[in-house]
Amino acid sequence: MNARNPHAGLPITDDDAAIAAALEDVSVPALMLSLVHLTGDPSYIRGAIKPRMLVLNEIQGFMPEEEQAEVRRLALEAIRAYRDAGCVLPEQPGPELLHEMMSWVACDEVPREYLPMLLEDMELDGVDARRASESGDPAARAGFPVVVIGCGQSGLLAGIRLEEAGIPFTIVEKNAGVGGTWYENTYPGCRVDVGNHFYCYSFEPSDHWSEFFARQPELQAYFESVMNRRGIAEHVRWGTEVVSAVWDEGSATWQVTVETDGARSVLTARAVISAVGLLNRPKLPDIEGMDDFAGPSFHSARWDHGVDYLGRRVVQIGAGASGFQIAPTIAPDVAHLTVFQRTAQWMFPNPNYHEKVGPGVRWALRHLPFYGRWYRFMIFWPGSDGALAGARIDPEWPHQDRAISERNDLTRRWFTDWITAQVGDDPELLAKVLPDYPATGKRTLQDNGSWLRTLKRDNVDLVREGVARIEKDAVISTSGERYEADVIVYATGFHANRFLWPMHIVGRGGAVLGEQWGDTPTAYLGITVPNFPNFFCLYGPGTGLAHGGSLIFQSECQMRYVSACLDTLISGGHRSMEPTREAHDEYTARHQAEIKQMVWSSPAVEHSWFKNRNGDIYTASPWRLVDYRDWTKSPDPDSYTID
Ligand code: N01
């Protein structure tokens, strides 16, 4: 066995009964693909037994039970032979066979243009192709200090890549620990809604998740363990905020003022990487009487664990992604829960959402060659660019108020059936929970039925109105109804359109980033900004993913680009680089033209954090993942002023 490939699996020493038991749990299509690696025999995927359809979060490809049983029987034979022969892998599939394997499990031809992106992400060759380059003069690298702002998933990634490149760096993190959003959001029920075997770094093991969609403590622990294993913690200044960053033309450095416990100091950096995330400045509503409320009240991202909600009357204002997770978790414990939901949410059926990863799957992830990589593919591919076509507005479609295209109308019907099947027996509730805007127009939520089950509880009320005012012991709806409250939870979202706020970033010629951006933040490829040399954004303007993928995938693409920019600067002995105005403006115009054609821009979607106050979108990306990955492989020198 190729001991250096971390995805080839540990040697198998289990007896037949243990293997057979493990196989009962696994994804059969991923198992069949693993058998091709394990035996070198492609006939496993060339016979009559095959998946029928690949749908996000359905891991058996809709294969009938008897076919699954037959594959398990064949697999046991093959795995036994592999074990008994000392777990030696045969020659591994070449690119043509890998393409065939992808198309087989996707149940459709995977276009060839996707192969580089998919193979890079799957790392079947055990090579982390997005690793930062260590080439060039080590002394020049050592003389190029970088400040990274934020130690969430993207800031930690930046640290990992800078460490690989031999570039000295300091990560400045306002919290006391790693994880960013996964450090701050500790509300009951907080969990990720992208499958964890994909929502993780591509180059790190992913065989340890206890649930398919892990809860916040496990996610935070994951980032902590990666940080410690990679030796990044010693580079982090915890509990420290960046107050300002000012470009000094004379020395071609950024002067970064940071504050720890009220004491300020200045860091000097040749480059700054902003990894501050987007959804981290809580947005409290402006409601009359909020300060008069006598009981405890707090934002979902600042959950007060000192408040005991057991047996109390809780009013939850807001039910987007956060509120949607909070209500089902606290409802069984409170005396009464009132949920104010201004806009109903579309939900994507996902029976696996709260499921644990069974011991068989864990065994397969650890032992079956490349099983985990194919399982990753099975999450990545159906949640990838296929969904983007469905998000495009068809101007010829006549019913724009309910759907943006015929295909989108079919999705609306599918989602509507999912909701109706659960609450069709309660017409009053059904009317309240059916959204009246196009499906996927806001962020679609993952659902296993827990939301509507919660709303059907005797101790839960759903109020589909705004809030008129708050009194010392109650919340009053716009129609004047009074809802008594001991505790108020504001699940009202974040300042998503205020990138990097409230930091004060001053670039060339005194340009102030906040003023340059105003309500329309833009960056070339969402990463670099004219007037701000050697300044790089991760999860910058226009890069949020609304159609699929995972932000970690996006960060890995962006950080590869940033590493290549740093390489350009250092190996060329340059002082600075910034995008040309032409490159930036051309990109921005394309971004705006494209995003306006997507469902998130539909005027039928009244409120969404994707939109700024004018209804324009500067948060989300309209691009195919395959294109964005291509554009961010390395900087095009013609798009930059490099001196
Ligand atoms: O915030 P939101 P969120 N009066 O902005 C309502 C990520 N995330 O924290 O829909 C009354 O979506 C508002 O109403 P409306 C994910 O990207 C991921 O829930 O605007 N109501 C809405 O109901 C997500 O999209 C995960 O009409 C008011 C709610 O408050 C993003 O974070 C989990 C109001 C805000 O919803 C943000 O989610 C959690 C007012 N004045 C979050 N103002 C997972 O991975 C706002 N609202 C699972």
pLDDT at 3 over 60: no
Percentage of the residues of the chain whose pLDDT score is greater than 70 = 99
Q: Answer whether 282 contacts ligand 1 (Cβ < 6 A).
A: no
What is the CA(325)–ligand 1 centre distance, in A?
11
Question: 146-278+497-636 architecture in CATH?
Answer: 3-Layer(bba) Sandwich (3.50)
**In terms of Cα–Cα distance, which of 369, 353, 372, 354 is closest to 27?**
372
**In terms of Cα–Cα distance, which of 611, 539, 625 is closest to 279?**
539
- The closest residue, in CA terms, to atom 43 on ligand 1 is 492
Q: Answer whether 303 contacts ligand 1 (Cβ < 6 A).
A: no
Average pLDDT over residues 395-419: 96
DSSP 517-540: HTT----BTTTBBTTBTTEEESS-
> Is the pLDDT higher at 386 or at 263?
263
pLDDT at 240 over 60: yes
Q: Answer whether 277 contacts ligand 1 (Cβ < 6 A).
A: no
- The closest residue, in CA terms, to atom 9 on ligand 1 is 493
Q: Are 118 and 381 in contact (CB under 8 A)?
A: yes
Q: Are 558 and 625 in contact (CB under 8 A)?
A: no
Q: Answer whether 301 contacts ligand 1 (Cβ < 6 A).
A: no
pLDDT at 458 over 70: yes
Q: Answer whether 493 contacts ligand 1 (Cβ < 6 A).
A: yes
Tokens coding 150: 């934020």
* 269: region left, alpha or beta (phi > 0 left; psi from -120 to 50 alpha): beta
Residues counted in the chain: 643
**In terms of Cα–Cα distance, which of 112, 234, 116 is closest to 169?**
234
Instruction: Write out pLDDT tens, residues 527-580.
Output: 999 999 999 999 999 999 998 889 999 999 999 999 999 999 999 999 999 999
**Roughly what angle, to the nearest 10 degrees, separates helices 95-106 and 28-39?**
160
Instruction: Write out pLDDT tens, residues 285-300.
Output: 999 999 999 999 999 9
Ligand 1, residue 191: give the atom nearest the CA: 48
Tokens coding 393: 């507005």
- The closest residue, in CA terms, to atom 37 on ligand 1 is 493
Ligand 1, residue 341: give the atom nearest the CA: 23
In sequence order, which residues have a C-beta less than 8 Å from that of residue 598 and are 6 or more positions away? 391, 392, 393, 546, 617, 620, 622
Whether cis (ω within 30° of 0) applies to the bond prior to 502 is: yes
What is the CA(24)–ligand 1 centre distance, in A?
39
* CA–CA dist 242, 503 (Å, integer): 7
Q: Answer whether 215 contacts ligand 1 (Cβ < 6 A).
A: no
**In terms of Cα–Cα distance, which of 446, 445, 422, 447 is closest to 432?**
422
Instruction: Write out pLDDT tens, residues 325-342.
Output: 999 999 999 999 999 999
pLDDT at 126 over 60: yes
**pLDDT range class, residue 136, cuts 50, 70, 90:** confident
Q: Answer whether 343 contacts ligand 1 (Cβ < 6 A).
A: yes
Q: Answer whether 180 contacts ligand 1 (Cβ < 6 A).
A: no
Domain 290-346+395-490 fold is FAD/NAD(P)-binding domain (3.50.50)
What is the CA(344)–ligand 1 centre distance, in A?
11
**In terms of Cα–Cα distance, which of 124, 286, 158 is closest to 226?**
158
* CA–CA dist 115, 121 (Å, integer): 10
Ligand 1, residue 321: give the atom nearest the CA: 19
What is the CA(377)–ligand 1 centre distance, in A?
29
* CA–CA dist 556, 129 (Å, integer): 10
**Roughly what angle, to the nearest 10 degrees, separates helices 115-122 and 95-106?**
90
Question: What pLDDT does 548 receive?
Answer: 86
Ligand 1, residue 323: give the atom nearest the CA: 19
**In terms of Cα–Cα distance, which of 89, 85, 84 is closest to 35?**
89
Q: Are 245 and 254 in contact (CB under 8 A)?
A: yes
Question: What pLDDT does 612 receive?
Answer: 95
The pTM (predicted TM-score) of the whole model is 0.96
What is the CA(333)–ligand 1 centre distance, in A?
23
DSSP 206-247: ----SBSS-BHHHHHHHHHHHHHHTT-GGGEETTEEEEEEEE
**pLDDT range class, residue 1, cuts 50, 70, 90:** very low
pLDDT at 134 over 90: no
Q: Answer whether 321 contacts ligand 1 (Cβ < 6 A).
A: yes
Question: What pLDDT does 135 receive?
Answer: 78
* CA–CA dist 381, 109 (Å, integer): 12
Using the CB atoms, write b or e for 261-284: b if 16+ within 10 Å.
Answer: eeeeeebebbbbbbbbbbbbebbe
Question: What pLDDT does 4 receive?
Answer: 67
Percentage of the residues of the chain whose pLDDT score is greater than 90 = 95
Using the CB atoms, write b or e for 340-375: b if 16+ within 10 Å.
Answer: bbbbbbbbbbbebbbeebeebbbbbbbbbbbbbbbb
**In terms of Cα–Cα distance, which of 131, 156, 154, 130 is closest to 231?**
156
Q: Are 328 and 451 in contact (CB under 8 A)?
A: yes
Q: Answer whether 279 contacts ligand 1 (Cβ < 6 A).
A: yes
Question: What pLDDT does 2 receive?
Answer: 43
* CA–CA dist 150, 156 (Å, integer): 8
What is the CA(319)–ligand 1 centre distance, in A?
6
What is the CA(206)–ligand 1 centre distance, in A?
29
Backbone angles phi, psi at 158, to 5 degrees: -55, -45
| Domain boundaries, given as residue ranges, for the chain | 16-110+353-383, 146-278+497-636, 290-346+395-490
Question: What pLDDT does 449 receive?
Answer: 97
What is the CA(318)–ligand 1 centre distance, in A?
6
**In terms of Cα–Cα distance, which of 223, 226, 198 is closest to 212?**
198
Q: Answer whether 317 contacts ligand 1 (Cβ < 6 A).
A: yes
- The closest residue, in CA terms, to atom 31 on ligand 1 is 321
**pLDDT range class, residue 630, cuts 50, 70, 90:** very high
* 482: region left, alpha or beta (phi > 0 left; psi from -120 to 50 alpha): beta
Q: Answer whether 342 contacts ligand 1 (Cβ < 6 A).
A: yes
Instruction: Write out pLDDT tens, residues 587-622.
Output: 999 999 999 999 999 999 998 999 999 999 999 999
Q: Which amino acid, 102?
A: M
Instruction: Write out pLDDT tens, residues 357-386.
Output: 999 999 999 999 999 999 999 999 999 998
Q: Is the C-alpha dihedral spanning 402, 407, 411, 413 positive or negative?
A: positive
What is the CA(301)–ligand 1 centre distance, in A?
11
What is the CA(442)–ligand 1 centre distance, in A?
10
- The C-alpha torsion from 120 through 121 and 122 to 126, rounded to 10°, is 60
Q: Answer whether 600 contacts ligand 1 (Cβ < 6 A).
A: no
- The closest residue, in CA terms, to atom 13 on ligand 1 is 318
Q: Residue 433: exposed, middle, or buried by beta-carbon count in 10 A (0-12, 13-18, 19+)? A: buried
pLDDT at 246 over 60: yes
Chain-wide mean pLDDT for the chain?
96
